[in-house]
């Protein structure tokens, strides 16, 4: 994917990507029953599950910053523990 703006939308809101995967799966379900389509559908389902796990991790990270376990100012992708929780 070469469109950084489009990619950033999905990074900021992974739920959009989950919804896109679901829409593609629904469209594939209504189409042909070719084995390649079934394989692609299974791959998309796995991608959607992974994205949902990432969303949950983001929510857990947010909760941990709110309760003082993690530093809220840590760089993206790095979870820095507080010296002593509040």
Tens of pLDDT, residue by residue over 34-79, are 677 777 778 888 888 888 888 888 889 889 989 988 898 888 778 8
DSSP state of 78: -
- Provide the whole-model pTM: 0.50
* Cα–Cα distance measured from residue 69 to residue 85, given in angstroms and rounded to the nearest whole number: 5
* Cα–Cα distance measured from residue 18 to residue 4, given in angstroms and rounded to the nearest whole number: 18
* Cα–Cα distance measured from residue 26 to residue 24, given in angstroms and rounded to the nearest whole number: 5
């Amino acid at each position: 994917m070469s469109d950084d703006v489009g990619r950033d939308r999905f990074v900021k809101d992974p739920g959009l990507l989950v919804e896109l995967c679901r829409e593609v799966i629904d469209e594939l379900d209504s189409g042909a029953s070719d084995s390649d389509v079934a394989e692609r559908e299974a791959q998309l389902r796995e991608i959607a599950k992974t994205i949902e796990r990432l969303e949950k991790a983001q929510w857990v990270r947010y909760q941990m910053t709110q309760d003082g376990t993690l530093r809220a100012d840590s760089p993206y992708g790095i979870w820095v523990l507080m010296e002593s929780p509040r």
